[in-house]
Amino acid sequence: MTKRSWSEMSQAQRRGVVFGAIVQVLLQAAALRDLRRRTPEELNGPRWAWVCATFVNTVGPCAYFLFGRRRRR
């Protein structure tokens, strides 16, 4: 698999890249917004670590939503 420049990509590939970027930005924004609104007691681990994790592609925000929040009882 070789790297391609934007101009070498097909229209479908360009749409895929744009769609992936939009999903990443929306997930990160949602995670950061949720982090800002929660108290430390509602988080599993330190807030700064989860903020840093949100910058790791889509894996970070997904990990936060799955493991970073304590379940309300």
The runs of H, that is alpha helices, within 38-65 are 47-53, 59-63
pLDDT single digits (tens) 8-66: 999 999 999 999 999 999 999 999 999 999 999 999 999 999 999 999 989 999 999 99
Is it the case that residue 1 has pLDDT exceeding 80? no
What is the model's pLDDT at position 24?
A: 95
pLDDT band at 71 (very low <50, low <70, confident <90, very high): confident
What is the model's pLDDT at position 4?
A: 83
d(CA 5, CA 22): 19
What is the model's pLDDT at position 73?
A: 64
**3-class secondary structure for the chain?**
CCCCCHHHCCHHHHHHHHHHHHHHHHHHHHHHHHHHHCCHHHECCCHHHHHHHCCCCCHHHHHHHHHHECCCC
